[in-house]
Amino acid sequence: MSGVMSRFLSNATNRIDSKGRVSVPASFRSVLVERGIQELYCLQDFIFPAISIGGPDLLDRYERQIASVDPFSPEANRMSLLVHGGGVFMRLDAEGRLMVTDFIRDFAGISTEVTFVGRSDHFQLWQPQAFHEAQAAARAGRVPRPA
């Protein structure tokens, strides 16, 4: 069971409440539990107007990439600006909700609803219509336009 279930799949759209919270889909939450993920690392996607969310290992992978070049080089400085300066740790509340901060709203263009999209080892937050359009574009075989 755990083998198949322990990855983020499919998508779901939930509403943001008056306090700016949104429920993470239960199927995603169970994956987080199976993977032992308690701290969520959130990062602006490099291509799409979406927020990528995963465990601390997601950050580790980017840091290994940064470590592979000269740490004082402009290249490392630039990557750190994105990965460290643009990333945030968050945690869910007791009911499995997360705060939709301005950081998320502004970058993803989210206002009242959030679409959760599974990406196997992590998941993403999208503005619902933007997700549908990106998916339609992908289905048509065209190259999606970056933000």
Partner DNA sequence: CCTCTTCCCATTGACGCCCATGTGGTCCCA
Partner DNA sequence: TGGGACCACATGGGCGTCAATGGGAAGAGG
Footprint of DNA on this chain (CB under 7 A)? 12, 14-15, 17-26, 29-30, 91, 93-97, 99, 101
Q: Which of its own copies, DNA, none is residue 109 near (CB under 5 to 8 Å by kind)?
A: none
Distance of CA 73 to the CA centre of its chain: 28
Residue located via tokens 């206002």 = 111
For its own copies, the closer of residues 18 and 69 by Cβ is 69
Which of 13, 96 has the CB closer to its own copies? 13
Backbone angles phi, psi at 66, to 5 degrees: -65, -40
Q: What is the CA radius of gyration of the chain?
A: 16
Quick one: CA torsion of 89, 93, 97, 100, rounded to 10 degrees?
Answer: -50
Nearer to DNA, 35 or 79 (CB): 35
Binding partner of residue 8 among its own copies, DNA, none, CB cut-off 5 to 8 Å per kind: its own copies
**Residues touching its own copies, count (CB under 8 A):** 57
Distance in Å, CB of 43 to its own copies, minimum: 10
C-alpha 141, offset from chain centre: 24
Q: Which of 49, 45, 82 is nearest to 63 (CA)?
A: 82
Q: Which residue has the tokens 């549908």?
A: 132
Considering only residues 88, 96, 128, 130, which one is a binding residue for its own copies as defined by CB under 8 A?
88
Residues 6 or more apart in contact with residue 4 via CB below 8 angstroms: none
Question: Using CB under 8 A as the criterion, which residues of the chain lie in contact with its own copies when the complex forms?
Answer: 4-5, 7-11, 39, 44-48, 56, 58-59, 61-66, 68, 72, 74-75, 77-89, 103, 117-120, 124, 131, 134-135, 138-139, 141-147
